[in-house]
Amino acid sequence: MKRFDIKKFFQICFFVTNTTFLEQQTKLFEKFVGHRWKVVFLSGVMVNTPLVETIKAYDVIIITPQLIVNLLKTCDEGNLPFSLSSFSLIFFDEAHHADGNHPYNVIMYDYHDMKYSGQIPDGKRLPQVVGLTASLGIGNAQNASEAVKHFVKICANLDITVLSYVHENIDELRAFSSIAVDGKTGKCMLIICNRNRKQILNYTFFCF
C-alpha cells in the first residue's frame, strides 16, 4: 500500500455490506489503532448529527455504503460539501459486491467521475482503494473465458490494478481452506485492467 503523510492528509473509510459487521470491525480497529486514532461506526439508524460533521470528527470511519451513496446524491448536507476525496484510504469489505447497482459500485462511479473529469477539490486527491474478499466469484459465467471477464469487470469497477494474495503463512492458510486434489488451494489471477472492462492490459495465472 502507498505511504501517507499522516500529518497532512489521513482518514480511512471502511465499508461493510451490512450492519452485522459494523461493531465487529470497529472492535478490531479499536484494538489495533484505537490508541492512536479516533474510530467510529455509523449506520442509517444511528446517525443523529449531520453526517459530514461526524465524518470530519474521526480518523477511521466504519460505515454502511448506502449512507455515503445518499451523501453523494445530495452533494450538500447543511451547506457542508462532501467528496470521496475527504478520505485518503477506502476499504471495501466483501469487495466482490462492486457490480451492477450495488452501493459499492455506485460509490465507485463517483470515484471514476472524479478521476477522469479531474474535478477533485483543491488541496485534495483521490483516495487509495483497497478491496477485500475471499473470492471474486464468477458472476453468471458459464466458462473460463466468461469468468475472466467477470474478474476484469470487478477489478475495473474498483479501479484495481493488482490482485494481491497470500505470500506468507501458506501452511496456516491451507489449514483453513478447502484443499484441491492436487494439494494446492486453488488459483489466483493478477490482473491489470482499465475501466472500459474490455481491455486486459496484462494478466497472469499462478498457483500457491
**Superfamily name and number for 12-133:** P-loop containing nucleotide triphosphate hydrolases (3.40.50.300)
Range 40-58 average pLDDT: 81
Distance of CA 169 to the CA centre of its chain: 24
Residue 20 has pLDDT above 70, yes or no: yes
Q: What is the structure's pLDDT at 164?
A: 83
Per domain, the residue ranges of the chain are 12-133
Beta bridge partners of 93: 132
pLDDT tens profile 145-186: 888 888 889 999 999 988 887 778 878 877 776 544 444 444
Q: What is the pLDDT of residues 87-141, one digit of tens each?
A: 999 999 999 999 999 999 999 999 999 999 988 887 888 999 999 998 888 888 8
Total residue length of the chain: 208
| Three cell numbers, residue 199 | 481491455
Residue 97's pLDDT is 95
pTM for the full predicted model: 0.78
> At residue 180, what are phi and psi to the nearest 5 degrees?
-70, 165
pLDDT at 190: 42
Cα–Cα nearest to 185, from 161, 204, 169, 163: 169
Cα–Cα dist 138/96, whole Å: 10
